[in-house]
Amino acid sequence: MQRNTRQRSAILETLSRQDDFRSAQQIHEQMKADGETVGLATVYRNLQVLSRSGRLDVLVAGDGESLYRQCEDTGHHHHLVCRECGRTVEFLAPKLESSMDAIAHEHGFTDVDHTLEVFGLCSDHGTREAEAAEEEGEDQAR
Amino acid sequence: MQRNTRQRSAILETLSRQDDFRSAQQIHEQMKADGETVGLATVYRNLQVLSRSGRLDVLVAGDGESLYRQCEDTGHHHHLVCRECGRTVEFLAPKLESSMDAIAHEHGFTDVDHTLEVFGLCSDHGTREAEAAEEEGEDQAR
DNA sequence: ATATGTGCAAATGCTTTGCAACGCC
DNA sequence: GGCGTTGCAAAGCATTTGCACATAT
């Protein structure tokens, strides 16, 4: 089954020192910077395996890129993510869960599942000034 | 500013005859099948422009592919999508909107936005039998 | 031993872009 | 006639995969 390779441990170790969601490539670069020698494909493969086994939390960004981080809460929960820095807060919304189910059932849907992600600017990036200072163009996709 | 080209009208016209969300490529193929001659890049460019101006509804599938369809309701709303056939129902969840904002602000986030999509099996595909009949593996990624 | 995991580079699949030709306004 | 638009093919990106080699167990 699952083996304990230097690379896999290194990936888990790197993730354990990260708070926010990072992309596979960011994680790979981080590791390279830390002196680890791991192939990018290996990072991808492991992130896939680890998230499949529930050890990682996956978040699909607006552009389809997958972001990973170590699970804090293995149950069903949602994320509040800072668009600027990736800072993430997990939260539960029990009322939401039940009303989603209710709406779905009203329309004859069963076996219901949903995805909810909230994006915003955290307290460190919430001023319009800060934003304007860094970006000249403001009309990018997203 | 914005011009009225044969291609642009054709795209809108094609969309107006579609009920469900389709990818840029599907739309392009549909048009080709209908005898329209439009470049794929043009389809992409127009879908982008049209959705940016709020005339189209965009949904990002789990794998990052963008799906489009003509707006029914131009305001903020969510989708209940059948995993099997793509049948889509739009719905509003005002309570949700406010509680999302509340949660976000509690954590110091501003300029908040969110994505919520609900997936399930519509009345035509809701029986477990039907499912079991078609899929042997059940462990795909979500 | 041997099934798993790894590295690399090539392949994929969706989407974007450079650039010359085109055609609305 | 000028500038938004189009087409095509090439480029981009994130991710996946084929395959030979390495390595946990």
Contact, A37 CB vs strand C, < 7 Å: yes
Nearest-CA residue relative to C1' of D8 = B39
Cα–Cα distance between A131 and A121 in angstroms, integer?
A: 10
More confident residue, B82 or B83: B82
Confidence of residue B99 (pLDDT cuts 50, 70, 90): confident
Residues of chain B contacting A93 with CB distance shorter than 8 Å: 96, 99-100, 103
Structural domains of chain B in order of their starting residue, each with its CATH number: 1-72 (1.10.10.10), 73-141 (3.30.1490.190)
Contact B8, B46 (CB under 8 A): yes
Contact B67, B61 (CB under 8 A): yes
Residues of chain A contacting B122 with CB distance shorter than 8 Å: 107-109
Confidence of residue A13 (pLDDT cuts 50, 70, 90): very high
Kindly state the average pLDDT of the residues B9-15: 96
Q: How far is CA A96 from the centre of its chain?
A: 21
Q: Provide, in whole angstroms, the distance separating residue A44's CA from nucleotide D15's C1'.
A: 8
Residue among B93, B95, B111 whose CB faces A120 most closely? B111
* Residue A141 confidence (pLDDT): 35
Give per-residue pLDDT as tens, A86-142.
Answer: 788 888 888 888 888 899 999 999 888 888 888 888 888 765 444 444 444 343 333
Residues of chain B contacting A80 with CB distance shorter than 8 Å: 103-104, 107, 109
Q: What residue has token string 């059948």?
A: B82
Cα–Cα distance between B78 and A131 in angstroms, integer?
A: 29
* Residue B139 confidence (pLDDT): 40
Q: Provide, in whole angstroms, the distance separating residue B10's CA from nucleotide C18's C1'.
A: 25
* Residue B135 confidence (pLDDT): 43
* Residue A54 confidence (pLDDT): 82
Q: Provide, in whole angstroms, the distance separating residue B8's CA from nucleotide C19's C1'.
A: 21
Order the strands of the B22-23 sheet from edge to edge.
Answer: B22-23, B66-70, B56-60
Contact, A4 CB vs strand D, < 7 Å: yes
In degrees rounded to 5, what are phi and psi of residue A93? Answer: -145, 70
Kindly state the average pLDDT of the residues B71-83: 76
Residues of chain A contacting B99 with CB distance shorter than 8 Å: 93, 95-96
Q: Which B residues 80-109 touch A at CB under 8 Å?
A: 80, 82-83, 89, 91, 93, 95-96, 99-100, 103-104, 107-109
Question: Lowest-confidence range among A28-42, A84-98, B82-96, B128-142?
Answer: B128-142
* Token pair for A46: 């492991």
* Residue B29 confidence (pLDDT): 95
More confident residue, A45 or B52: A45
* Residue B41 confidence (pLDDT): 97
* Residue B6 confidence (pLDDT): 96
Q: Which of A113, A115, A3 is nearest to A49 (CA)?
A: A3
- Whether B134 has a pLDDT exceeding 60, the answer reads no
- Give the nucleotide at minimum CA-to-C1' distance from A26: D14
Contact, A133 CB vs strand C, < 7 Å: no
* Residue A77 confidence (pLDDT): 83
Q: Which B residues 11-40 touch A at CB under 8 Å?
A: none
Q: What is the 3-state secondary structure (H, E, C) of chain A?
A: CCCCCHHHHHHHHHHHCCCCCEEHHHHHHHHHHCCCCCCHHHHHHHHHHHHHCCCEEEEECCCCCEEEEECCCCCCCEEEEECCCCCEEEECCHHHHHHHHHHHHHCCCEEEEEEEEEEEECCCCCCHHHHHHHCCCCCCCC
Q: Which residues of A are annotated as a binding site for Fe cation?
A: 76, 97, 114
Kindly state the average pLDDT of the residues B28-32: 96
**What are the angstrom distances between the C-alpha of B93 and each of A73, B15, B17, B75?**
26, 26, 27, 12
Contact B96, B50 (CB under 8 A): no
* Residue A139 confidence (pLDDT): 39
- Whether B84 has a pLDDT exceeding 70, the answer reads no
Give per-residue pLDDT as tens, A42-80.
Answer: 999 999 999 988 889 888 887 889 999 987 766 778 888
Q: Cα distance from A100 to chain B (closest Cα, Å)?
A: 8
